[in-house]
């Protein structure tokens, strides 16, 4: 569906540019847009490689296990059904999200989801809570956003941190409360 939307928007832009006599401006905008997109992709790839490497160094140095123990009381309350390997994957996933590294968090999130998966065709409450937490993504250091801002020429790409903290704390709180509320309101006799 999105392919059709993008195709229609592109066709409309070309027709408007041709109809208004701005074909030269359209050509320049296309070249500038392609150049900016390539620069942004390279910047993001470099940042993702750097922080994924940092996460791997943390894992090999044993910091992931220490972080797991630090986050265990909170995560154990949220995910009482999780076993030790799942809890470790959850803690690394949450720590990567805290650093604003959603891409580095994904592999551990998938491992945690596999550990939280229940038998049957429907997702359990723990699995749903994991998806909600990853979607809300509490961030202490918004690395990806700061990288995009730096690539766009922001003089101080991290000056948005207080706003990110407030917005992500509010979204995380609302997400967890909503997931817990809906889990508590299950109809008796239904499987989750």
Identify the pLDDT of residue 83: 83
Identify the pLDDT of residue 48: 75
Instruction: For residue 48, give Cα distances in angstroms to 35, 60, 154.
Output: 20, 18, 19
Identify the pLDDT of residue 100: 67
Identify the pLDDT of residue 122: 58
Identify the pLDDT of residue 118: 59
* pLDDT by position in tens, the chain (length 192): 889 999 999 899 889 988 998 888 888 888 888 888 888 888 878 877 887 787 778 778 877 667 767 888 888 888 888 888 888 888 888 877 777 677 777 888 888 888 888 545 456 788 888 888 888 878 887 877 888 888 788 899 889 989 988 998 899 899 999 988 888 876 555 554
Round to whole Å and give the CA distance between 158 and 46.
18
Complete DSSP assignment for the chain: -HHHHHHHHHHHHHHHHHHHT-HHHHHHHHHHHHHHHHHHHHHHHHHHHHHHHHHHHHHHTTHHHHHHHHHHHHHHHH-TT--HHHHHHHHHHHHHHHTT-HHHHHHHHHHHHHHHPPSSSS--HHHHHHHHHHHH---SS-HHHHHHHHHTT-SSTTTTHHHHHHHHHHHHHHHHHHHHHHHHTPPTT---
Q: Using a cut of 0.75, tell me whether the model's pTM lies above it.
A: no
């Amino acid at each position: 569906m999105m392919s059709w939307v993008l195709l229609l928007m592109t066709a409309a832009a070309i027709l408007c540019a041709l109809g208004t006599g701005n074909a030269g401006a359209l050509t320049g905008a296309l070249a500038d847009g392609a150049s900016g997109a390539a620069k942004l992709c390279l910047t993001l790839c470099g940042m993702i490689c750097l922080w994924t490497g940092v996460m791997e160094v943390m894992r090999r140095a044993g910091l992931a296990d220490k972080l797991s123990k630090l986050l265990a009381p909170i995560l154990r309350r949220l995910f009482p059904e999780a076993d030790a390997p799942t809890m470790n994957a959850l803690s690394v996933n949450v720590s990567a999200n805290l650093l604003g590294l959603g891409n580095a968090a994904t592999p551990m999130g998938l491992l945690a989801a596999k550990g939280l998966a229940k038998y049957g065709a429907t997702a359990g409450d723990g699995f749903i809570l994991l998806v909600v937490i990853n979607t809300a993504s509490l961030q202490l250091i918004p690395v990806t956003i700061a990288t995009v801002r730096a690539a766009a020429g922001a003089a101080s790409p991290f000056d948005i941190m207080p706003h990110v903290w407030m917005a992500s704390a509010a979204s995380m709180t609302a997400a967890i409360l909503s997931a817990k509320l809906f889990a508590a309101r299950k109809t008796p006799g239904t499987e989750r």
